[in-house]
Amino acid sequence: MNKVLIVSGGSQGIGFATAKRFLSEGYRVVNLSRRPLELAGAVHISADMQNRDWLDNCIVQLEEIAAGADEVVLLHNAARHDGDTVKNLSADNFANVLQVNLVAPQQLNALLIPFMKAGSAILYMGSTLSEKAVAGCASYIASKHGVIGLMRATTQDLVGRGIHTACVCPGFTDTAMLRGNIGDDPSVMAAITGMVSFGRLIDPVEIVETILFCARNPVINGSVLHANLGQIEH
């Protein structure tokens, strides 16, 4: 059986861990990102999703990959996370974030769904901030709320196709993005882990197992799965 994972933003973090796991499960792995995917056996397609025409150079290649597959798992993982507020978020910056976090996933959907067979899956990466908000990242919050809406629209629009969907919302996961945002201050790390019922960061592998479960189980079609170790609400 020719199984394919097409993942955006697979060169690091959760995306890389997912690519590695699916490769071990016998999937052909295709990554779309600016940075190369340094993983033997995987296919990397250079793509900058910040550009509206980013698909132009890889349409034919992606169509051939999807058309030849018995099962496609499409994982919308790439994301842009800016520090901004509704007081200073410009229209241009907002549009740029939405392009990466919402428009690019839909561009991939429109391209690949016609080639996806029954048993395939379209999975979205959300966030804890897909259903709540904090100060200082307005564009990210708005876009991640939108990701859940796009996933739910996917559920309704693909009725009868045998393609299932879900949105996985990780909590505080030990990735380069998180480390880059919080820095090396032990007090900041303590504050973050103090908001988690298990008192630690999530290993990316734990999120990958959730993604693999979603890929294999159509029963979760339309679901929002919060994979966050139980966050403590205040």
Answer whether residue 180 shows pLDDT above 80: no
Identify the pLDDT of residue 174.
87
Angle at 124 between CA 132 and CA 148, to 5 degrees: 40
How many CA atoms, within 13 angstroms, populate the side-chain half-sphere of residue 168?
A: 24
The pLDDT tens digits of the residues spanning 81-128 come to: 999 999 999 999 999 999 999 999 999 999 999 999 999 999 999 999
Sign of CA dihedral 26, 67, 61, 79: negative
**φ/ψ (deg, to 5) at 48:** -115, 100
| Mean per-residue pLDDT of the chain | 95
Query: What are the residue ranges spanned by the domains of the chain?
Result: 3-172+203-227
- With tokens 């979603």, the residue in question is 214
Instruction: pLDDT band for 169, please (50, 70, 90 cuts).
Output: very high
Is CATH 3.40.1120.10 what the domain over 3-172+203-227 is classified as, yes or no? no
Identify the pLDDT of residue 8.
98
What's the rounded mean pLDDT across residues 134-162? 98
Instruction: pLDDT band for 179, please (50, 70, 90 cuts).
Output: confident
Which one, of 118, 141, 119, 115, lies nearest residue 130 by Cα?
Answer: 141
